[in-house]
Structure 1
Amino acid sequence: MNPVLAFVIVMLVWTVSDLVAKKTQSLLSSLFVASIIFLVGFLTDVFPEDLLASSSLLALAGVVVGFVIVHLGTMISLDDFKKQWKTLLVGIATVVGIGLTLLLAGFLFGPRISGSAADGYAQALDFVIAGTGALSGGAISVLIVQEAALGVGLTSIAVFPVLIAALQGLIGFPLTSIILRREAARLKAEYRAGRLVPAGGAASAAADDNPSTGAAAPAPDTAPDPTPDPAPETRLPAFLRTTAGTLFVVGAVVLVSLGINNLTDGILNTFVVALVLGIALRTAGILRPSVLSGIDAFGLMMIAVMILVFGPLATVKPSDVAALAGPLLIAFVFGVVGITGFSALVGKLLGYSVPMSVAIGLTSLYGFPGTMILSQEAAKGAGETPEEVAAIEHEILPKMIVAGFSTVTITSVVITSIIAGRIGGG
């Protein structure tokens, strides 16, 4: 496909998606709308399969995704990251919940699957493992499942997580958007009641540790200001604070992250290292808060990264969806039940509101950049002044960012690596 035409089409889809999100006050998120447009376009062959690749945005995203991860790290100070330990626990509980509910589904519906693994038939447990890895994780978890499945000749199990990865955003985006709107409305009320100080304040007076009663907590679980400081300080010389200089420095950080990933054979994932380095370099004063905000290239970089979300949709065929429709439906129904139940229970025990807890759990269905976009859309949809928007985003965004990494990038990869070896075990 002509690269310029492909680029224009992608930008048109994203423009329409943004417009719908604004008109519906984020009830229909831009990610959900774009997912629907791309899915229908690819299934009906209105969009050619090479649309996203021809636009060059997929290639660009492969380069800059690490840059954006470093940027996320600079949005969170080390002290702020430590305060998100509750979010980490909710994220871990979510992955465990997905696995347990899918295991229950396997017991209930497993007898309908006959044959043996030796004859090339997938067993219920194979679908449970593949579903757990795909629903709770991203590309890395899917690749782990695929490698294990293809190693024992189970092609259907190799395809299953790809379909989940391609379709789960269609469920995760609207659900999270609705739930975050409720949380944002609650936070707006807290802000107007004087129990939530503006972003950048000394401490949040919101009842984060007891949101159901509104009682103030002695040590609220606050989050960092997602916007740059008015006069950010950095130890970098002026020539490294330009657009090109900033991209050079952040690029060097990404290269270091890649090097650590390779040295540890992927045990220390590139994105996790990049996030940690971003936090550390901000804390040390080397990178300013929200390091990429304000540079000329950031907008295009974010669009390119978001296109990664829709990449799997290009290869989905109607026959693929039909052949695995039953297992897909079961996986999504039981998976979402596990996510909402376990995240709400653990989150409530830790003092989070139920909407915030469930939103944290739902990040397992999409991860970054959805965690950032949906948080920002919810804050803008609820807040009526820049101060309200900033205060709401200040509370939601860091939790969602940490949640995405705790589920998709860390917990899911660890758990999937452990259980994938059981695929094909009969």
Structure 2
Amino acid sequence: MAAIYALTICLVLYAIGDIVSVKTKGLLSLVFVLCVVMLIGFWCGLPTDIVTTAGIAPLGKVSASLLVVGVGTTMNTKELMRQWKTVIASFCCCTAGVLLIVFVGRFIIGTDAAIAGAPIFAGASVALMIVNEALENVGLTDTLGVVVILIFALQKFIGVPLCSFCLNREARAFLKDREKMQKYLAVTTEDAASEKKRPLSFFSKTNKPVYNFTKVALVASLSTALSALTQDKVNVYIICLVLGVLFTELGFLPRNALSKLDSYFLLLFSILMTIFSSLAKVTPQTLVQSFIPVLVVLLLGAAGVVVFAFLLSKVLKQSTWLNIALGITCTFGFPTTVMLSEEIANGVGTTDEEKSALRNYLLPQMTVAGFITVTIGSVILAGIIVPLLG
């Protein structure tokens, strides 16, 4: 097959996933639809090497580092400090879910399956990329590749109903506290333009995509070199994330660099297609066999979030319902965090005042929680846990 034909087919499959996701308002995610469409395609005769033929595979392997550096540029450290309770609740509850999968799941589905599945519960395509690379290195792609992909594709169906239920309970309790409601009616956002001049802001004066892309690549390269100096004991993606934050604070990288590259789609497309190419080895029989490990990982992860949310509520002095909602954002992230907040505000609030107060109360916390769990937590947890494979 000609490379252009292969690339076009891959783009069509990706587009189908995106269209269905938009039409169902995110109920069926792009990842889930793409997984189903590619599985059916491979079973119906789609070439198993289509991603390699399209020339996507090499790009997919380098895109992850660029993507993580870009993610680091989205972190607003001042906002995270203001929302310190949200940061602690979301990260700790998500981590509790991951640890329960590792330490309890190993006795049910085996050590390797538990270790591979745990970071995926924490969310993000980058975590999936890290796990997928590790599975290839230890020769477990054939047995566990489909398990981690299914966890990634299906976790939203556990997380969204649980989060929606908890937010509903939290919203009703919030509206009963009139003093608290009045406080959130008066919330105003800070002017982002008040940001201080940064030491390396000279490098961000030119905002052309090619310059921003080059700077992101330089930081990714530095991260790779530093990881090599530690003999890969410190995962390269953790360093990418840290340096992405650092060089943004210094002014070398622009904030939200991914939106300024004109290539975010290409990075995500290449990563997902590279990972999902392993579905070519999946048969209907292996798919059925994979559902038990997937179910165990998702249920244990959710249980870990719920139990720790209850314990943490005593320490942080905030409700268990809110802590569960913040922690379980690891299963879906943005933009579902925004959609759920809006849905609950409009559904529970009966007046414009109540809806506005609920929106001001839930939306910032849910947005930060999704960022902490999916964007930061999943990368850190994957970098720490994945070396235990094999």
Secondary structure in structure 2 of the residue aligned to 1:167: helix
Residue 289, structure 1, aligned to residue 292, structure 2? no
| Matching residue within 267, 286, 304 for 1:342 | 304
| Partners of 2:98 and 2:301 within 8 A in 1 | yes
Q: CA deviation at 1:273?
A: 0.9
The answer as to whether partners of 1:7 and 1:55 remain within 8 angstroms in 2 is yes
Kept after mapping to 2: 8 A contact 1:29/1:377? no
Q: SS of 2:258's equivalent?
A: coil
Matches within 5 A, 1:13-412: 13-45=13-45, 47-81=46-80, 83=84, 84-105=87-108, 127-137=109-119, 138-141=128-131, 159-179=142-162, 201-202=189-190, 235-237=201-203, 240-321=206-287, 325=289, 328-351=290-313, 354=321, 357=324, 360=327, 363=330, 371-372=333-334, 374-375=336-337, 394-404=364-374, 408-412=378-382
- TM-score normalised according to structure 1 size: 0.68
Change (3 A) 1:279 1:406: closer
For residues 171 and 73 of structure 2, the distance between their equivalents in structure 1, rounded to whole angstroms, comes to 26
Provide the C-alpha distance between the structure 1 equivalents of 2:216 and 2:335, rounded to a whole number of angstroms: 21
Distance 1:198 1:72, change over 3 A: farther
The CA distance in 2 between the partners of 1:336 and 1:132, in whole Å, is 11
State TM-score, norm by structure 2: 0.74
The one-character-per-residue Cα deviations of 1:333-355 (angstroms, maximum 9, x if unpaired) are 32222111111111233347647
Counterpart contact for 2:102–2:114, Cα < 8 Å: yes
Corresponding residue for residue 123 of structure 2? none
Q: How many residues align?
A: 356
Quick one: structure 1 residues 263 and 362, their matched pair in 2 at CA, closer, same or farther if it must change by over 3 Å?
A: same
- Code of the aligned partner of 2:225: G
Q: Structure 1 residues 49, 236: CA separation in 2 closer, same or farther (over 3 Å shift)?
A: farther
Partner of 1:9: 9
Q: 1: distance between equivalents of 2:135 and 2:274?
A: 20
What is the correspondence of 1:410-425 to structure 2 with a 5 Å cutoff?
410-415=380-385, 417-418=387-388, 420=389
Percent identity of equivalent pairs:
16
How far apart are the structure 2 equivalents of 1:38 and 1:379? 32
**Distance (Å, rounded) in 1 between the aligned partners of 2:145 and 2:54:** 22
Residues 62 and 397 of structure 1, relative CA distance in 2, 3 Å threshold: farther
Match of residue 353 from structure 2:
none
Aligned-pair distance for 1:264? Answer: 0.8
Unaligned runs of 5+ in 1: 106-126, 151-156, 203-224, 422-426
How far has the Cα of 1:312 moved from its partner?
2.4
Change (3 A) 1:14 1:194: farther
The answer as to whether partners of 1:176 and 1:359 remain within 8 angstroms in 2 is no
Task: Map Cα deviations across residues 160-188 of structure 1 (whole Å, 9 max, x no partner).
Answer: 32231232223214333445566777899
2:133 and 2:261 map into 1 onto residues whose CA distance is: 34
DSSP 3-state at the match of 2:259: coil
Contact 2:32 2:153 in 1 (8 A): yes
